[in-house]
Structure 1
Amino acid sequence: MKPLPTVRAVTAFLLTAHVANATVFKLDTDDDIRESARTLAFDLMSYYRGNETGQTPGILPGPPPAGDYYWWEAGAMWGAMIDYWQFTGDDTYNDVVMEAMLFQVGEGEDYMPRNVTLSLGNDDQGFWGMSAMLAAEANFPNPPEDKPQWLALAQAVFTTQVAPERHDETCNGGLRWQIPFANKGYNYKNSISQGCLFNLGARLARYTGNKTYADWADRTWDWMIGVKYIDDNYNVYDGAHVETNCTDINRAQFSYNNAVFLLGAAYMYNYTEGSEIWKSRIEGLLNNTINVFFPDSIAYEVACERIMSCTTDMLSFKGYVARWLSTMTQVAPFTAETILPVLRKSAEAAVAQCTGGESGRECGFQWKSGSFDGSVGAGQTMNVLSAVSALLIGQAKVPVTNETGGTSKGDYSAGTNSHDPLVMRPVTAGDKAGAAIITFILLASAAGMFSWMSLGDG
């Protein structure tokens, strides 16, 4: 039998291993950041199977029970990969990104494919729309002319979301969480759905110069204030149910809610050429975001991280925050002094804990802990990739518009011929006999096949 190692020997080994692993991702120079981001992008794409024979392009393995990931998170991931390309200049994955985003546009070219109907929320559609908008703003390579174009796809998503059938009188307006009435969560109006619409409206207004988009952004912000989802201290709460006229507010706070409104507000500030109203809103919301979600300047998901009750969805939120805050510094430059030091320290904490797995570089979720927590996945890796690549924002081009070099073709009619799946409509006498049976089957199918997005969404 071999003698057991001494405590001193074990300690020395652990210290050596930690030092070795801690140097896997370096952030000392721009070249270090690019190399670290390149490795993280490779690790993130290792979770993707859609470019393999027999697999479905565009999606991560899922939804449960087929895999961990719902459809929306893949749409968000392609946004992260577009940002990776524009921040680092590495076009290795551009063809994969384009194939994925075009494959999932759906039959109406509005990011509502029929095969995701049973988990199709306004926020899910919105994330794909925001990635298409990013592709237009970043001048990501345009699709072939016979395919839908990035700007037109973003416009189609926006148009479907402002259509009358998406809005009703409950809670004085606002989008419901789910699009089909039979889906669990249709009776919930949540902040992230409003945030995606607000974000898209603000960005489309700036890109196209069309005031209609800005009017909808204003309207959505005012609704959030009116229903008290955003309070006087700029806390952003998750949502509420229509049965109570949205008065049973779930006060859970998630970082991506703050960030999606912050980025939209920054675009409105830019579109309005420095409006003091939007500047004041940005300052209030940004201060709240830093205080709540960046204790000690390190990203922290306050609703779930302390006891690690985060769902797969929540495990991806930190990355969106890093990306969107970094872009804010371009379209609302007065925020840079506050944001950039925080993003730097947070990224340093993020890579410090990427010491897991056989590779010695797998990334966990709890950045403040200083050590690898064993929680791995596409979201956790995407978070760190986004935090690292966002450090290069100072070298990135400012998001373009139609007037400043944007090449993506738009279509103001995109989305006008879309048909929402399973939307509510007036019931006729001929419908009544079968309505109860059909609704029961749909609800049973939905309940049996899916667990829903987050504990904060009810």
Structure 2
Amino acid sequence: MVRLSAPVLAALGLFANKAFGALEVNLDDPESIKKAAAQVAEDLLTFYHGDEPGWVPGILPGPPPDGDYYWWQGGAMWGTLLDYRHNTGDTQYDDMITTAMLHQAGDDRDYLPSNWSASMGNDDQAFWALSAMLATEIGYTDPPEDQPQWAALAQAVFHEQTSEDRRVPSGRCKWGLRWQVYSTNNGYDYINTIANACYFNIGSRLARYFHNETYAELATKTWDLIDRLGYISDKWDVYDGAHLPDCTDLNKAQFSYNAAMLLQGAAFMYNYTDGAQIWKDRVDNLVDRMIEIFFPAPARIAFEPSCEYQQCNSDMESFKGFTHRWMGTTMQVAPHTKEKILPVLKQSTAGAVKQCTGGNNGRFCGFHWTSGVWDGDTGASQQMNVLGALVSLLAPDVPAPLTKDNGGTSKGNVNAGSNEAKLPTFAPITSGDKVGAGIVTALIIAGSLSAFAWMSLD
């Protein structure tokens, strides 16, 4: 398949708008939704070059300043395309997806490649595991036997993140999963919701897939930790996290993907426990509060209240699509939620599609959905968002996630993952290296200042 890159499309801009036009879809017609989703997926992949000579398979261009995207966002994109594949039946990207996800698995088959250690967060590693877990659950084509298997990759990440070297050893935050994997990374002292929510989510899904109570117990232990630290309020607001030593400086910024990650995991626990009331209550309360906060009345269009009025960074610009997708899965494993969730997702998707009138083919999407007009901003995150929104509407009518006992073929490995996170070793440092390191350090510090600024929001 020949794909035109964004720069090439720009060169064709004089006539592209006349030839194509805005993204059009009838949200009451599944076939129309699939057709629109195919167009959005095609446009999304204009930002990916990993299948071209000289580029690295699996990742989007970056990280800054070399491009807009961090390593984890590649993993998130493959998860989005796997949901697209499952919900539409379009398999044309299978070779690309498989190549990408296996290439980034790393030497230890645990999504911890050493060349990304300088910015490796537990949540970054987990996002690739989430995509591997999704591949497991949708019955995606298994890799050759000599290659890493999807279920085993998810297990490897979960097992490593269970180990003590990733966690707080004592005090009020005991057993909290740190944001960063390595102690040399900024943010190692931040115990944030997304890292712990990812761990909870993967654990709940492994419990259901393998029907394994140990995974369920670890998932429940993590929910209890998040709740005990006050990251979930009495009103079911989900906050971003807090710092060591005691996790009391609560960052009350609310981002939709934190709540959505917890919601999807809770829905899997509800399903695994055959509808236990405690998990039903958690699912229902999260759904109600998420709709109120992230799909505000009367429009019910996805909105990020903690940054949208200011400037969402490239990470935050991808949250709406995740939220749509994970609410879509929630309807599959906790079907009673469909009555509340589906109408909201439909209204939100209508708002999303309405502003897909940009770029040089006239159908690229922006980030601000509530305005109804394209905001002039394009990127992989914006395309992932709208693709996630479209496929979420198809979720109730496709098969629910598989287990090993009802059609799942992906093989697990109880010994997957290493016992500890080891920093990569390097050759002896020369005086020339020190000069270069100083320049790199300055760049990292400059980038960190902007990356960490949002964490101070209250």
* d(CA) in 1 for partners of 2:28, 2:56: 39
Number of the residue aligned with 2:39: 39
Q: Which residue of structure 1 aligns with residue 312 of structure 2?
A: 310
Q: 2:271 maps to what in 1?
A: 270
Name the counterpart of 2:295.
294
In structure 1, the residue matched to 2:280 is 279
Aligned mate of 1:204, from 206, 227, 241 = 206
Q: Take 1:341 and 1:154, find their aligned partners in 2: how far apart are those partners?
A: 32
The whole-number CA distance in structure 2 between the counterparts of 1:65 and 1:73 is 15
CA distance in 1, matches of 2:439, 2:266: 38
Structure 1 residues 392 and 81, CA, compared in 2 at 3 Å: closer, same or farther?
same
What residue is the counterpart of 1:118 in the other structure? Answer: 118
8 A contact 1:356–1:363 mirrored in 2: yes
Instruction: For 1:405 and 1:421, locate their aligned partners in 2 and report how far apart those are by CA, in whole Å.
Output: 39
Gaps of 5+ in 2: 1-16, 426-433
- Tell me, yes or no, if the aligned pair for 1:183 and 1:443 is still in contact at 8 Å: no
Q: Return the alpha-carbon distance in structure 2 between the equivalents of residues 145 and 340 of structure 1.
A: 39
Amino acid at match of 1:41: A
> Shift of residue 24 of structure 1?
3.1
Whole-angstrom CA distance in 2 between matches of 1:442 and 1:232: 47
Distance in 1, Cα, partners of 2:273 & 2:440: 45
In structure 1, the partner of 2:444 is 447
Q: Tell me which residue corresponds to 2:252.
A: 251
CA–CA distance in 2 between the matches of 1:204 and 1:455? Answer: 35
**Structure 1 segment 127-276 matched on structure 2, within 5 A:** 127-168=127-168, 169-170=170-171, 171-243=173-245, 245-276=246-277
Distance 1:41 1:128 in 2: 19
The separation in 2 between residues aligned to 1:166 and 1:69, in whole angstroms, is 25
Alpha-carbon distance, 1:418 to partner: 5.3
Q: Tell me the distance in 2 between the aligned counterparts of 1:449 and 1:361.
A: 35
| 1:301 alignment partner AA | E
Match for 2:393: what amino acid? L
Match of 2:6 in 1: none
Structure 2 Cα separation of the partners of residues 26 and 143 of structure 1: 36
Greater displacement, 386-395 / 313-322:
386-395
Supply the AA of the counterpart residue of 1:305. Answer: E
Alpha-carbon offset, residue 447 of structure 1: 3.1
1:348 to 344, 347, 350: 350
| Structure 1 residues 321 and 454, CA gap change in structure 2 (3 angstroms) | farther
- Picking from 330, 333, 336, the partner of 1:334 is 336
Q: Is the 8 A contact 1:207 1:402 kept in 2?
A: yes
Name the TM-score, length of structure 2 as normaliser.
0.89
| 1:170-201 per-position Cα deviation (integer Å, ceiling 9, x unaligned) | 42221111011010111111000001000000
Contact preservation (8 Å) 1:354, 1:364: yes
Q: Residue in 2 aligned with 1:67?
A: 67
Structure-1 residue corresponding to 2:4: none
Which of 386, 389, 397 does residue 387 from structure 1 map onto? 389
CA RMSD after TM alignment: 2.1
> Aligned to 2:394, what secondary structure does the other structure show?
helix
Distance verdict in 2 for CA 1:23–1:185, change over 3 Å: closer
Q: What are the superposed Cα offsets for residues 417-442 of structure 1, whole Å, 9 maximum, x if unpaired?
A: 5543379xxxxxxxxxxxxx9xx989
Cα distance in 2 for partners of 1:68, 1:60 equals 8
Evaluate the alpha carbon distance shift between residue 166 and residue 252 of structure 1 in structure 2; reply closer, same or farther with a 3 A threshold. Answer: same
State which drifts further: 411-420 or 368-377. 411-420
Change (3 A) 1:41 1:111: same
TM (norm. structure 1) is: 0.89
Tell me, yes or no, if the aligned pair for 1:300 and 1:367 is still in contact at 8 Å: yes
Q: Distance in 2 between the 1:33 and 1:339 partners? A: 18
Q: Is the 8 A contact 1:237 1:249 kept in 2?
A: yes
Q: 1:240 aligns to what SS in structure 2?
A: strand
**How far is 1:31 from its partner?**
1.2
Q: Is the 8 A contact 1:188 1:457 kept in 2?
A: no
Comparing 413-422 and 389-398, the one that deviates more? 413-422
User: Contact 2:256/2:319 (CA < 8 Å) preserved in 1?
Assistant: yes
* Structure label with greater radius of gyration: 1
Would you say the 8 A contact 1:118–1:183 is kept in 2? yes
1:81-96 alignment runs, 5 A limit: 81-96=81-96
Residues of 2 paired with 1:25 and 1:281: CA distance?
34
Structure 2 partner of 1:7: none
Tell me which amino acid in the other structure corresponds to 1:220. T
Matches of 1:359 and 1:442 in 2, distance apart? 40
Secondary structure, aligned partner of 2:416: coil
Aligned residues: 424
Structure 1: runs of 5 or more not aligned: 1-16, 424-436
* Cα displacement (A) at 1:285: 1.2
TM superposition shift of 1:28: 4.0
Q: Separation in 2 of the partners of 1:314 and 1:453?
A: 11
Q: Is the 8 A contact 1:316 1:383 kept in 2?
A: yes
The Cα of 1:164 is off from its aligned counterpart by 1.1
Q: Which amino acid aligns with 1:385?
A: L
The question of whether the paired residues in 2 share the 8 Å contact of 1:179 and 1:420 is answered with: no
CA contact (8 A) 1:363 1:380 kept: yes
One-letter amino acid matched to 1:213: Y
1:108-146 Cα offsets, whole Å, 9 max, x none, are 110000010011000000110110000000001111111
Identical-pair percentage: 50
Amino acid paired to 2:83: D
Contact 1:182 1:422 in 2 (8 A): no
Distance apart, 1:70 and its partner CA: 0.2
Aligned partners of 1:313 and 1:454 also within 8 Å: no
Aligned 8 A contact 1:63 1:450 in 2:
no
- SS of structure 2 residue aligned to 1:311: coil
